[in-house]
Amino acid sequence: MATEQNKLPAIISHCKEYGFIFPSSDIYDGLSAVYDYGQWGVELKKNIKDTWWKSMVYMHENIVGLDSAIFMHPTIWKASGHVDNFSDPMIDNLDSKKRYRVDHLIEGHAEQLAANSEEASNAILASMDQLLSKDDFAGLKQLIIDHKIKCPISGTCHWTDVRQFNLMFSTQLGSVADDSDTIYLRPETAQGIFVNFLNVQKSGRMKIPFGIAQIGKAFRNEIVARGFIFRMREFEQMEMQFFVRPGTQKEWYESWKATRMQWHLDLGIPKEKYRFHDHVKLAHYADAACDIEYDFPMGFKEVEGIHSRTDFDLTQHQLYSKKKQVYFDNDIDESTGKAYGNYVPYVIETSIGLDRTILMVLSEAYTEEDLSTPEKQDSRVVLKFPNKLAPIKLAILPLMKKDGLSEIAKELMNECRESFFCFYEEKDSIGKRYRRMDALGTPFCVTIDHQTKEDGTVTIRYRDSMEQERIKMSDVRNKVLEALK
């Protein structure tokens, strides 16, 4: 049985064995912090994307979608501040030649301290936050030295100075390499939204407040990538930028915090598994920011960021592109009796990592159950996904191939497959097939047997309770549809 400590390795091997997630380039021994989604992972991913898209775009009349290109004009990243500021303070150990993110190294040490003294652990974290907020790199190195923080590989304190490393990947556009042709793989999808703000506003006749939502790949050359799909070099984000009237950003920030937390709770994950974490050091563009943290197997960590980005991005793009990024607001300001007029909107961003959400959903769903009886040792691994996220909704299992049972099963398959994803299997014993469906997180299994031929009924088996009941085959489709509502 996996304990909380080895739950993550158990999830990683389950994902590989059952076709959810594979290391990228597996036959070449993988590529660090890059992963491929297999046949069931891709369904889970799609269902999470659909849930997010529906809640953001279909459920809000004033939010529309966008799919902007990954490659963008390089000046965008100058304007956004990423060329100058998108970096992490790093330190190298001279003996092991390993590079660490300074905050991760200190946090790791604080975790060890916490075993003996919560107070000592909090004190070092508070000092770190203070030094980070002042970009005091000499102070950070001194903190590491003073606390005798060792490299986990070499075990020595032989450290370089703390330096900044930019996290953007760059490449060349066109066939002749020239510095001026350097472009970046986007490190966030947000900038694609900002540079399309006026295109969408004008073509969609959008009135403030309104939002633009986008799901897409982002790339970061994370120096230390760990935690499976928690920190990847190529990942997906689901981001929404909400454009508001200046001065109303505080209210909207609070409102989006509540809306997004509700989305998480609607996944069926209990409240105590989440917490908000307010940022101490605000990014260069923000006037308020927090993370929604989930209690992953490795502890509470960020899954989503909610940021009040002010008018920073649009103002910067106005400056660099020399194109006005203003909105004309003809609503009447009650305090002056005049229209609000032209302004650069403020922005509230909600940004959630798709892959981190998948890890969260997997962590929540992964369950090992001891089913032993006095006669027999037994156990099962079951992924208790919410019905709407389960890759396969219904497994259709003829008891045997012969006697026309597989034909009846295929009829049911044809009746249901347009409405939701079904899976057909006739190999192995029924018990083995049920266990396999538990491991894939399939909420419903239906068995077709000889009685089906006589009275048109089938056995439906429920994943979580493992209970079975006999229902009419003609009711199966509606029963599953009802459960998906």
Residue 82 found at the interface with ligand ATP (CB under 6 A): no
Helix (H) / strand (E) element for 290: namely strand 288-296
Residue 303 found at the interface with ligand ATP (CB under 6 A): yes
* Residue among 82 and 463 whose Cβ is closer to ligand ATP: 82
Residue 355 found at the interface with ligand ATP (CB under 6 A): yes
- 336's CB contacts (< 8 A; 6+ apart) are none
- Footprint (CB under 6 A) of ligand ATP, residues 154-193: 188
- 123's CB contacts (< 8 A; 6+ apart) are none
The residues with which 223 forms a beta bridge, in sequence order, are: none
Cα–Cα distance, 364 to 299 (Å, whole number): 13
Residue 253 found at the interface with ligand ATP (CB under 6 A): no
Joined together, the tokens standing for residue 20 give 């959810």
Helix (H) / strand (E) element for 193: namely helix 190-194
Q: Select from 13-21, 330-338, 349-357, 421-429 the region that touches ligand ATP (CB under 6 A).
A: 349-357
- Footprint (CB under 6 A) of ligand ATP, residues 381-400: none
Written as one string, the DSSP assignment of 267-281 is: TT--GGGEEEEE-SS
Residue 125 found at the interface with ligand ATP (CB under 6 A): no
Residue 302 found at the interface with ligand ATP (CB under 6 A): yes
Least Cβ distance, residue 177 to ligand ATP (angstroms): 27
> Is the bond into 209 cis (omega within 30 degrees of 0)?
yes
Least Cβ distance, residue 90 to ligand ATP (angstroms): 13
* Residue among 72 and 413 whose Cβ is closer to ligand ATP: 72
Residue 443 found at the interface with ligand ATP (CB under 6 A): no
* Residue among 306 and 365 whose Cβ is closer to ligand ATP: 306
Instruction: Confirm if 46 and 66 have CB atoms less than 8 A apart.
Output: no
| Residue showing the smallest CB distance to ligand ATP in the complex | 353
Residue 45 found at the interface with ligand ATP (CB under 6 A): no
Least Cβ distance, residue 292 to ligand ATP (angstroms): 8
Binding mask 254-293 vs ligand ATP (x if CB under 6 A, - otherwise)? ----------------------------------------
Least Cβ distance, residue 403 to ligand ATP (angstroms): 50
Cα–Cα distance, 426 to 452 (Å, whole number): 16
Cα–Cα distance, 232 to 467 (Å, whole number): 39
Q: Select from 122-130, 266-274, 345-353, 381-389 the region that touches ligand ATP (CB under 6 A).
A: 345-353
Q: How many residues bind ligand ATP (CB under 6 A)?
A: 16
Residue 297 found at the interface with ligand ATP (CB under 6 A): no
Residue 361 found at the interface with ligand ATP (CB under 6 A): no
Q: Which of 356, 388, 393, 463 binds ligand ATP (CB under 6 A)?
A: 356
Least Cβ distance, residue 270 to ligand ATP (angstroms): 20
* Residue among 67 and 334 whose Cβ is closer to ligand ATP: 67
Least Cβ distance, residue 299 to ligand ATP (angstroms): 13
Sheet holding 444-448, edge to edge: 422-424, 394-398, 444-448, 457-462, 468-472
Least Cβ distance, residue 232 to ligand ATP (angstroms): 4
* Residue among 2 and 167 whose Cβ is closer to ligand ATP: 167
Residue 295 found at the interface with ligand ATP (CB under 6 A): no
Alpha helices in 235-336 (DSSP H): 249-265, 312-321
The burial of 179, by beta-carbon neighbours within 10 Å (0-12 exposed, 13-18 middle, 19 or more buried), is given as exposed
* Residue among 102 and 480 whose Cβ is closer to ligand ATP: 102
* Residue among 8 and 445 whose Cβ is closer to ligand ATP: 8
Could you tell me if residue 174 is left (phi over 0), alpha (psi between -120 and 50 degrees) or otherwise beta? left
What radius of gyration, in Å, describes the C-alpha atoms of the chain?
26
Strand stretches in 58-115, DSSP E:
63-66, 87-92, 99-101
* Residue among 45 and 231 whose Cβ is closer to ligand ATP: 231
The residues with which 289 forms a beta bridge, in sequence order, are: 307
Q: Select from 56-64, 89-97, 170-178, 348-356 the region that touches ligand ATP (CB under 6 A).
A: 348-356
Q: Phi, psi at residue 188, to the nearest 5°? A: -155, 155
Residue matched to tokens 């947000």: 190
- Footprint (CB under 6 A) of ligand ATP, residues 212-241: 220, 222, 231-232, 235, 237
Residue 313 found at the interface with ligand ATP (CB under 6 A): no
* Residue among 41 and 353 whose Cβ is closer to ligand ATP: 353
Among 185, 304, 288, 285, which residue's Cα sits nearest to residue 240? 304
Written as one string, the DSSP assignment of 58-73 is: IT-TTEEEE---SB--
Give the chain's length: 485
* Residue among 39 and 85 whose Cβ is closer to ligand ATP: 85
- 436's CB contacts (< 8 A; 6+ apart) are 425, 428
Q: Which of 43, 92, 304, 449 binds ligand ATP (CB under 6 A)?
A: 304
* CA angle, 86 then 90 then 91, to 5°: 165
Residue 45's CB is within 10 A of a number of other CB atoms, namely 21
Residue 317 found at the interface with ligand ATP (CB under 6 A): no
Contact positions toward ligand ATP, by CB under 6 A? 188, 220, 222, 231-232, 235, 237, 302-305, 351-353, 355-356
